[in-house]
Amino acid sequence: MATKTIMLVCSAGMSTSMLVTKMQKAAEAQGIDTDIFAVSASDADNSLAAKDVNVLLLGPQVRFMKGQFESKLAGKGIPLEVIDMKDYGMMNGENVLAQALKLIEG
């Protein structure tokens, strides 16, 4: 199975890195090959240019940037959604991984 590349964007990339770790553990437990990483909103363009991203999830603290990201992703076929605030607050890697996979699969 092809690697699923999941990009998380937050204000500084710090709080989301803990969520990335939990998502990676959930993916390993389910036998899913993933490349999950977090970047700051200011570094998102570089990562989008450098990697073949399958889905982009925004941290709740940058939900106001959703419109900007929709414009950046227009025509690229990369689904975009804001991470559920409760799952983010609880650092529920399993639920956030499921959200990302559902978006990838359409």
pLDDT of 29: 97
pLDDT over threshold 70, residue 1: no
- The pLDDT tens digits of the residues spanning 7-51 come to 999 988 677 889 999 999 999 999 999 999 999 999 999 999 999
**Domain tally, the chain:** 1
**CB of 6 closer than 8 Å to CB of 22:** no
Q: What amino acid positions are annotated as catalytic residues?
A: 10
Q: What is the pLDDT of residue 13?
A: 64
Q: Compare 16 and 93 and report the one with higher pLDDT.
A: 93
What predicted TM-score, i.e. pTM, was given to this entire model? 0.94
- Tell me the CATH number at 85: 3.40.50.2300
Structural domain including 80 reads: 4-105
Question: What is the per-residue burial (b if ≥16 Cβ within 10 Å, else e) of 17-33?
Answer: eebbebbbebbeeeeee
